[in-house]
C-alpha cells in the first residue's frame, strides 16, 4: 500500500508551489536545529592543529581558482550534514566542501545552485547545469539519463525506529508498519518494491520531514541514508530514544555502485576531468581532510565496513562520533 502523509507531502504535491509550512511544534524546531558546524573538527582540535587544519581548508577550498572557466553545479541544500543552508544563509556541508574542492582541483570557477531534489537530474538533462553534486547514487536507471564519475563515497540504506518498537527484524515483524521515505529516492524505490505490498508507505519531500513525523508517532519507521540518519538524527537530542534496526541495505539493484558526481551524457571531457580530480583529491589527502571535517569514520566504503561489523558482532553497529 502506498500513501502520502496528508499532513505535509500531499499538500505539497497538490500545490506544486514549493515548500508548505510544516507543523510548528517543538519537535520540528529541534529537527530544524540539526545543522552541524562546518568547523566542528577544527574546534575540537588543539590550538596548533586547529590553525593548521583551518589554513589547509582555506587554501584548498576557499581560495579562488586562477582560471576563469565556469561550471554550474546543482546541489540539494536541504540534507544536512551533506548539504544545507547554514544560519548565515550560506551553503554548507560535506557535499558543498567536496564540490568546491573539485572546482579548485580542475581550476574552474563554480556556481553552486540549490535545486529541488526532483529537479536535479532534469536540470542536467536540459543543460541548465553542468554537473550535480548531491550525494546521488549511481544506479543503472539513472545511467540511462546521465553519466557518472567514479564513486566518491558510499552509504547504505538503514531503518530507524523508536527504541524497543521492533524486537525482531524480518518481513513478518515489519508487516503492517507505516514507513516514511524521502520521495523519488533510491530508498523510495527499494521500499516500494520490497515493502509496499505489506506496509503503508508515506512519501515526504525531504528526509527531515519524514523524521519529524516519526518523532511525532505518525509513522513506525523511516528508511533512509545511513550517514544522514546517524549524523543528523540519532546523534542529536531529537533522536534520543530511537535506534537503527536491521542490517545495512546496499543491494546493487536499488543502490547501485556508490555515490558519484552526475554530468550530462556525452560530456566526456568534463567527465574525464572530474574523474581525475576525484582521484587526485584522494591521492593528495584533501578528500580525507574534508571528510574529517564532517565525519569521524571512513565513508568511502561504508557499506562494506558496516556489513563486516555486523557479520563479526551479530548486530548492526553505529560508528561512534566520539571515537
Q: What domains does the chain contain, in order, with CATH numbers? A: 40-154+258-297 (3.40.190.10), 155-253 (3.40.190.10)
The alpha carbons of the chain give a radius of gyration, in whole angstroms, of 19
Instruction: Please answer whether residues 95 and 76 qualify as being in contact, where contact means their C-beta atoms are separated by less than 8 angstroms.
Output: yes
Helix (H/G/I), strand (E/B), else coil: 189: helix
Which helix (DSSP H) or strand (DSSP E) does residue 148 occupy? strand 146-148
Nearest Cα to 81, choosing from 186, 233, 261, 213? 233
Mean pLDDT of 250-264: 94
- Cβ neighbours of residue 267 under 8 Å, at least 6 residues apart? 130, 147
Q: Show the cell assigned to 322.
A: 566520539
Question: What is the per-residue pLDDT for 150?
Answer: 97
Residue 153 has what DSSP assignment?
B
Instruction: Please answer whether residues 97 and 103 qualify as being in contact, where contact means their C-beta atoms are separated by less than 8 angstroms.
Output: no
Nearest Cα to 195, choosing from 214, 227, 172, 218? 172
Helix (H/G/I), strand (E/B), else coil: 114: strand
Buried b (16+ CB within 10 A) or exposed e, 210-237: bbbbbbeebbbbbbbbbbbbbbbbbbbe
Which helix (DSSP H) or strand (DSSP E) does residue 70 occupy? strand 70-75
pTM > 0.75: no
- Pairing status of strand 242-249 against strand 157-162: antiparallel
Q: What is the pLDDT of residues 141-193, one digit of tens each?
A: 999 999 999 999 999 999 999 999 998 887 778 899 999 999 999 999 999 99
Q: What is the pLDDT of residues 295-314, one digit of tens each?
A: 998 898 787 777 666 666 65
Nearest Cα to 113, choosing from 94, 95, 129, 126? 129
- Cβ neighbours of residue 49 under 8 Å, at least 6 residues apart? none
Q: What is the pLDDT of residues 211-245, one digit of tens each?
A: 999 999 999 999 999 999 999 899 999 999 999 99
Instruction: Please answer whether residues 87 and 131 qualify as being in contact, where contact means their C-beta atoms are separated by less than 8 angstroms.
Output: no
Which helix (DSSP H) or strand (DSSP E) does residue 273 occupy? helix 268-283
Instruction: Tell me how far apart the alpha carbons of residues 249 and 194 are, in angstroms, rounded to a whole number.
Output: 12
Nearest Cα to 199, choosing from 224, 226, 171? 171
User: Greater confidence, 45 or 206?
Assistant: 206
Query: Is the pLDDT confidence value at 67 over 50?
Result: no
Query: Using 50, 70 and 90 to split pLDDT, how confident is the model at 96?
Result: very high
Instruction: Tell me how far apart the alpha carbons of residues 76 and 143 are, in angstroms, rounded to a whole number.
Output: 19
Q: If you average pLDDT over every residue of the chain, what do you get?
A: 81
Query: Is the pLDDT confidence value at 60 over 60?
Result: no
Amino acid at each position: 500500500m502506498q500513501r502520502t502523509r496528508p499532513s505535509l507531502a500531499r499538500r505539497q504535491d497538490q500545490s506544486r508551489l514549493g515548500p508548505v509550512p510544516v507543523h510548528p511544534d517543538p519537535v520540528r524546531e529541534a529537527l530544524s536545529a540539526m545543522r552541524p558546524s562546518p568547523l566542528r573538527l577544527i574546534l575540537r582540535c588543539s590550538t596548533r592543529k586547529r590553525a593548521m587544519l583551518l589554513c589547509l581548508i582555506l587554501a584548498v577550498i576557499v581560495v579562488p581558482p586562477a582560471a576563469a572557466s565556469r561550471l554550474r553545479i546543482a546541489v540539494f541544500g536541504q540534507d544536512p550534514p551533506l548539504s544545507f543552508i547554514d544560519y548565515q544563509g550560506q551553503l554548507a556541508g560535506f557535499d558543498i566542501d567536496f564540490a568546491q574542492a573539485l572546482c579548485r582541483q580542475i581550476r574552474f570557477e563554480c556556481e553552486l545552485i540549490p535545486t529541488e531534489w526532483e529537479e536535479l537530474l532534469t536540470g542536467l538533462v536540459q543543460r541548465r547545469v553542468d554537473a550535480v553534486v548531491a550525494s546521488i547514487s549511481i544506479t543503472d536507471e539513472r545511467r540511462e539519463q546521465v553519466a557518472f564519475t567514479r564513486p566518491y563515497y558510499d552509504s547504505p540504506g538503514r531503518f530507524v525506529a523508536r527504541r524497543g518498537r521492533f524486537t525482531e527484524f524480518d518481513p513478518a515483524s515489519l508487516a503492517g508498519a507505516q514507513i516514511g521515505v524521502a520521495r523519488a529516492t533510491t530508498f523510495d524505490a527499494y521500499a516500494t518494491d520490497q515493502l509496499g505490498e505489506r506496509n503503508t508507505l508515506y512519501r515526504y519531500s525531504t528526509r527531515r520531514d519524514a523524521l519529524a513525523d516519526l518523532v511525532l508517532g505518525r509513522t513506525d519507521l523511516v528508511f533512509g541514508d545511513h550517514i544522514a540518519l546517524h549524523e543528523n538524527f540519532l546523534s542529536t537530542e531529537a533522536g534520543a530514544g530511537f535506534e537503527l534496526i536491521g542490517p545495512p541495505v546496499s543491494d546493487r539493484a536499488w543502490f547501485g555502485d556508490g555515490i558519484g558526481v552526475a554530468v550530462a551524457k556525452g560530456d566526456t571531457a568534463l567527465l574525464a576531468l572530474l574523474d581525475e580530480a576525484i582521484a587526485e583529491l584522494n591521492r593528495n589527502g584533501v578528500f580525507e581532510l574534508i571528510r574529517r571535517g564532517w565525519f569521524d569514520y571512513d565513508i568511502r566504503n561504508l557499506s562494506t565496513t558496516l556489513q563486516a561489523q555486523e557479520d563479526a558482532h551479530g548486530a548492526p553497529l553505529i560508528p561512534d562520533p566520539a571515537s
